[in-house]
Structure 1
C-alpha cells in the first residue's frame, strides 16, 4: 500500500577500480525508523560501514543492490554502466518512489521516476548516504571473495583499485576475467602482449 511521497537515495561504489563490478544501491528510508551515523561511506571506517549495513537493510522501507559486471562496463563505458545500474536499482525497489535522489551531477535517462542529481549528496542526504554504504559494503565483500577465486592480485586489500601493488600483480600475472579490459592499464597490457 502506497502512502505519502517516497524518496529513494541512489549511489554507487567502484567506478575507479580496474577490476570487479560497479555496485549501485537504491534505498528508501523509513522516516519513522531513523538510523544514526549515516554519512558518505568514504568518510566512515570499514567497521562502522559493516555495523550500519544490516541496520539499513532492516529499517529501510525498500532497498535494491545491483552489480554491473566488468564485461558490461567494457561494452558500455564506466559512465553509461553506472547510469544503467542506477536505473536498474531504482526499478528494482519493492516500492515505487516519487523521486530518486542521485549522488553526482548527472541523471540516468531512463529512471522509472522523477530524479534529482545532488553533488556531494552522499554526505547531505541520509538516503544517499545509506545507498553509498550498501553499495560500498556489497562491493568490498565481493572483492574479498574474489581474492579466493583469483589469488595473487590482492583484491581483498585494494578492492581492485589501481594501487602500485595491484599494477605490479597485473604486470606479473596478466589480467583475470574480472579485469576491465577498457581501462587504460589493463588495455595497455593486453595490447603489449598482443604485439609480442
Structure 2
C-alpha cells in the first residue's frame, strides 16, 4: 500500500516558532506486550534527506526493518535508548513507565534537545521537556520514524535473547506480545521473570492468578521518578 514518506515539516515548524535548534523525535515500543520492557528511542536527525523507505516500523517487513535500523544508527546525528522494566511497569503503571524510559533516552543523548516530537496524542513526558505531540508522527516525521525503527529492532533483539532460556514462550517470534503460543506457555509454565504481573492476562490463568500484583498507582498518574534502570538488558 503506497504511503507518504515522512518529512521535516514539524521539525522546521518548531525551529521557526520556538527557536529550537536541536529537535529529537521520540517513539516507544512494547506498550501492549505481556512480557519484556517498554523501550523508547530518542533520535536527532537534523534536516538531512532520510534513507530511502523510512516510515513507521510497523509498516516495514522484518528484514527491511533490520536493514534500515542498521543504516539509521549511522545516519542519525544522535540517538539513545531508554527502557522501563516489567517490575517498574507493575510498580508505576504504564504512563509513568513511559515517562521513565523516555527520560532515560533523552538524558542519554550526547546533545540536549531544545524540543521533542512525541508520537501520539498524549504527552506522557512533560516538564522540563518542550514537547510537541503528533498523531502518527512515526509516519509523518523523519525523527520520530527513525526512533520508531531503531526502538523496534533493538527491543525485538532483546526479546529474542531473553527467550533463549524460555523456548516454549517463543519470544523471538512474538516479542512478548499476546499470541496462541505465548498463552499456551503461560498456562503450562506460568509467567517468567520477564512478565508484567499487574496485567489482566493473569485473570484468565487459574493456576497462576495468585501471582497477580495489585495496582497501587492511579491510572494516568505520573509521579516524579528518579533512579537507574532496575533490569539488566
TM-score (norm 1): 0.90
Does residue 42 of structure 1 match 2:76? no
Q: Paired residue for 2:209?
A: 191
Alpha-carbon distance between aligned partners in 2 of 1:87 and 1:77, rounded to the nearest angstrom: 15
Could you tell me which runs of 5 or more consecutive residues in structure 2 were left unpaired when the two chains were aligned: 1-19, 213-233
Moved more, 34-43 or 179-188: 179-188
Shift, 1:114, TM fit: 0.8
Aligned to 2:86: 70
CA, structure 1 residues 110+14, in 2 after alignment: closer, same or farther (shift >3 Å)? Answer: same
* C-alpha separation in 2, matches of 1:64 and 1:111: 19
SS in 2 for 1:152: helix
Map 1:14-93 onto structure 2 (within 5 A).
Answer: 14-32=30-48, 34-93=50-109
Q: CA RMSD in A?
A: 1.8
Matched, 1:151 2:203: no
| Distance in 1 separating the partners of 2:211 and 2:84 | 27
Aligned CA distance change for structure 1 residues 88 and 124 (closer, same or farther; 3 Å)? same
When residues 59 and 168 of structure 1 are mapped into structure 2, their CA distance, relative to the original with a 3 A threshold, is: same
The match for 2:144 among 124, 128, 133 is: 128
Residue 191 of structure 1, CA deviation? 2.4
**How far apart, in 2, do the equivalents of 1:76 and 1:193 lie?**
17
8 Å CA contact retained: 1:91, 1:111 = no
TM value normalised by structure 2: 0.77
2:184 to 151, 154, 168: 168
Q: CA shift at 1:169, angstroms?
A: 0.8
Q: Are the structure 2 counterparts of residues 88 and 187 from structure 1 closer, same or farther at C-alpha, using a change threshold of 3 Å?
A: farther
Say which of 80, 95, 114 aligns to 1:98: 114
